[in-house]
Structure 1
Amino acid sequence: MGIVAFAASGAIIAMEEEYDIFGVAVLGMAAAFGGGVVRNLFIGIPITSLWSQGLLLNTALATIFLLYLFPAVWIRKWQPIATFFDAVGLAAFSIQGALFAARMELPVGVVIFASVVTGIGGGVIRDVLAGRKPLVFRDEIYALWAMLAGISLGFGWMDGQIRSAVLFAVILTMRMLSVYYGWKLPRRKLDFHQSADQRRLAAGGKEEERAL
């Protein structure tokens, strides 16, 4: 479900940006597999291991091309459901990334990094390729839930299948609650440049001073 959701999100954004079918495929595959590839690069797993995931690669490609052929009205109906699938993918991929690093006995910080990169990396790459500001950094609490997986598994609090299943349910629930209630992390905007209106007002004030 996570692969389908992430591949679909990349394809939809590519179509919104009016990319051709090749661009749609690239964004869909980047969203689905980008996070895992970046994680492997940083923790020392061969990137070529991606090519052994034939079933998942074919699933992502099939999702992208089917979505490309769907009528626009069907795609609009898909998007609310995609939010849930996206939450499933976030929970599954962040736990997977943390487990990869934990099983290699890497430091806790690396486990957290692997969890976050696997969970959100594909979405960041997708947005950058689409020429957009990454959504996960500005509008939603997203990376925090991936970090929760890394912390829990890095410190050994959620070892074992049952505890991992509980962690999966917690991340999924928190992600859906943050979407439903519109939770956001604090942010601060610094505007060092005056707007055109502000510059005109300032110029007008100086002219009045000279006249006086």
Structure 2
Amino acid sequence: MVWDVLNVIGTLAFCISGALVAMEVKYDIMGIYILGLITAFGGGAVRNLMIGLPVADVWQQTPLFIIALVAMTLFILLPKSFIFHMKEWSIFDAIGLSAFAVQGAMAAQSMDMPLLAVMFAASITGAGGGIIRDVLAQKRPSVFTKEVYLLWAIVAGFIIGMDWITSDIGLYLVFAGILALRLLSQRCNWNLPVRELGGPESN
């Protein structure tokens, strides 16, 4: 049940996130749908490839594809003024990251993967779709440049990979905790250190 709930939550959040980015860079209607679907399903496809699950399993999620298409269609039909204000709501990315980070960790843990693999599965499931989205939108991936993002997915993978969570309620709490941390890092403008490559005079 947790797996299915997080799947729906993450898919809805990320397909809207992808649609918003597509609108922001002025893609046409097909671009909006494609970018939304890639954001929602891209991370899971890469995860499957990296941990040995069939990549084709992504196509066995017909109900989720329908949910994503319906959600994007309704979103596109919203008044432009409403959509304009929503583009500042990074909460969609935060929700998608949190839901898919937990789900990705669950997938790797169910295969008795080592801790590092669970952490990787959490991070790539939570952030992979967003990375692909930004690249296709010709933007610098926000995962690597904007506040603390990927770290929270790794934290979720660590908690689950250490077997500290043994109940469904615990998994939901991890989801809520990662979501809260991501939103807090946005609000407080927390950033990881940056090391830039300067000129010969730079230290």
Q: Give the TM-score normalised by the residue count of structure 1.
A: 0.85
Confirm whether residue 33 of structure 1 aligns to residue 41 of structure 2. Answer: yes
Q: How does 1:134-153 map to 2 (within 5 A)?
A: 134-153=141-160
**Ranges in structure 2 where 5+ consecutive residues have no aligned partner:** 1-8
Question: How far apart in 2 are the matches of 1:168 and 1:139?
Answer: 21
1:7 matched to 2:21? The reply is no
Question: What is the one-letter code of the residue matched to 1:71?
Answer: P
Q: Which residue of 1 aligns with 2:175?
A: 168
Matching residue's letter, 2:194? R
CA distance in 2, matches of 1:193, 1:27: 40
State the partner residue of 1:204.
none
Find the aligned partners of 2:169 and 2:16 in 1 and give their Cα distance: 30
Distance 2:25 2:187 in 1: 26
| Aligned-partner Cα distance in 1 for 2:179–2:24 | 27
Question: Post-superposition, which runs of at least 4 consecutive aligned residues in structure 1 deviate over 6 A?
Answer: none
Rate the CA distance shift 1:193–1:8 in 2: closer, same or farther, 3 A: farther
CA contact (8 A) 2:102 2:157 kept: yes
Specify which of 180, 188, 195 is matched with residue 181 of structure 1: 188
- TM-fit CA distance, 1:97: 0.3
Q: Verify: 1:62 aligned to 2:70, yes or no.
A: yes
Query: In the TM superposition, what whole-angstrom CA distance separates every residue of 1:126-155 from its partner, at most 9, and x where no partner exists?
Result: 000001100010112110110011111111
1:42 to 50, 61, 64: 50
Specify the alignment match of 2:121 in structure 1. 114
- 1:161 and 1:41 mapped to 2: Cα distance? 26
Given that 2:17 and 2:92 are in contact with CA atoms closer than 8 Å, whether structure 1 keeps it comes out as: no
* Matches of 2:105 and 2:10, distance apart in 1: 16
Q: Percent identity at matched positions? A: 46
2:59 aligned counterpart, secondary structure: helix
Unaligned 5+ runs, structure 1: 195-212
Q: Once the 2 structures are TM-superposed, how far is the Cα of residue 180 of structure 1 from its aligned partner?
A: 1.0
What is the aligned counterpart of 1:124 among 131, 150, 155? 131
Deviations 1:89-133 (A, max 9, x none): 221110110010011011111111000000000100000000110
Deviation at 1:170, TM superposition (A): 1.3
State how far apart, in whole Å, the 2-side matches of 1:18 and 1:78 are.
Answer: 16
The equivalent residue for 1:198 is none
Q: Which of the numbers 6, 11, 16 marks the counterpart of 2:24? A: 16
What is the CA–CA distance in structure 2 between the aligned matches of 1:191 and 1:63, rounded to whole Å? 45
- When residues 76 and 193 of structure 1 are mapped into structure 2, their CA distance, relative to the original with a 3 A threshold, is farther
CA distance in 2, matches of 1:26, 1:79: 18
AA of the residue aligned to 1:28: G
Partner of residue 157, structure 1: 164
Normalising by structure 2, what TM-score?
A: 0.88
Q: Is the 8 A contact 2:20 2:87 kept in 1?
A: no
Aligned length: 193
Q: Which residue of 2 aligns with 1:105?
A: 112
